[in-house]
Structure 1
Amino acid sequence: MTTNVVLSRRALATVGVVLSLLLTGCIGAGGILSDESGADGVDEAELRETIESTESYEVEITRTLNSGGVNETATVNGIVDRSDQRAQLTSTSETDVGSGPRISESEQYIIEDTQYTKSGDSWEQTTAPGTWNEVDRLEGALETLEDAEFERIRTETVDGTETTMFAANISDDRENELAGADSSQHVAVSVEDFVYYVLVDTETNTLYGTDLRMDVSQGGEPARVTIETTFTNHNDAGEISLPEDVAEMSETE
């Protein structure tokens, strides 16, 4: 798997991209739970306002992929400073294609659309339009929840805060985009099962997490993908301190 920490929405969610990366380098995705389902309790306007006003947060992403003889777990942890468009991220991935697990780690800093990735004792610098948009997972969740319908599932505690889990019925276009079933794929992706949960503190209308689970098939190859994202320390994230080499590189741009 690539050690690049900036995992784009497509790279995190699209099984076609995930599988190609692998070839080169709590609950399953079953139906929506309904034992505690109830009335819609999400104030969409307030949730949007809270997300848009969040200047910084800490994020943890856990992705799993199970496809044939491939099993992979990847985690990304870091701080996202939206006000200055900076992020500090670390990742760990464990991939097993049948010959035993292979573990890789990476450290990365992002300043606007430029990313600095540690390679040995030095840093590699790359700039690409849209890099920051890929890093800001909170903004990505906001886009996904546009005009969604919500069904209450149960309560869960996240980082000491009681939240409510909702199943989000998102638009077909967005679902296809997240699953990689849009026209951008050379080999068609078939979505067999797709659920998208959100964890919201309904007292403060704060988004604490998303949970995507899907079963898909591409070229006759079935795969199960889960992507759990947790947002904490809204507007109270730790400070991002650039390494000396990264600071010097950013000043010469």
Structure 2
Amino acid sequence: MPFLSPKCQILLASSIFSLSFVTVSADTLSKTIQTENAIQKSAVKSQKHIDGLDDQTRKMLEKYRSVTRQTRTLLTYNEHLQALLDSQEIEKASFEQQLTEIETTQQEIVPLILNMQASLEQFVQLDIPFLPEERKQRVSSLKAMMTRADVTNAEKFRRIIEAYQIENDYGNTIEAYRANIELEGKISSVDFLRLGRVALYYQRLDGSETGVWNNAEKSWKPLSNEYRNSIRQGLRMARKEAAPDLLTLPIPTAKEAKQ
């Protein structure tokens, strides 16, 4: 084998070293690339994991906020229900008290109604005898109603008050009406003039006779003819056929009440 010159030996060694260096650099670069790819894959995987955790955290936060809102809503609703229950308890206690009072009132109102009905009946009997049939019928109807089970005490009381109001109104009005009257043992049709409860007059339809009711003696008392025109004018005024005016009429004196 021929020997190489020293210069050729140096060139050959340099070539071998360069080739070895290139081989080593290529291996290093490959490993570096592999390492970088692994790092990138790991980074991508980590990012996906982080993104997944972020989505999970966001969902948990939204769920927490939703649960918090529902909790506040339920608390508000529960407070409202509690207020309603408290109000119902107060109403219940009030109704129980009213029921107790109603029982007491029922026991007290029945004697009151009966006394008022009896007093009204007595009052009509003692009063001057105007509209006798109408008033007696009203009193009889009230008396019959007192024993009816299908009529409530409230309705009975209302009817009694209504009857009292009607009687009260009689004292503030003037009225003319036509009815029959017994005079000297005969039934005659006459015109009646009522001045409140102060006086009750009658006049025959032909104007031939005029009289006034004497409540003390419970009888009719004839009047002189000087009052005939006044009674006639009073009848016209009561029927609204003439304007209101002064009337000259005899007024029965009030009887002193017994002590």
TM-score by length of 2: 0.22
By relative contact order (CA 8 Å, sep 6+), the higher-ranking structure is 1
**Counting strand residues as a fraction of each chain, which structure ranks higher?**
1
Return the index of the structure with the highest Cα Rg: 2
Q: TM-score, normalised by structure 1?
A: 0.22
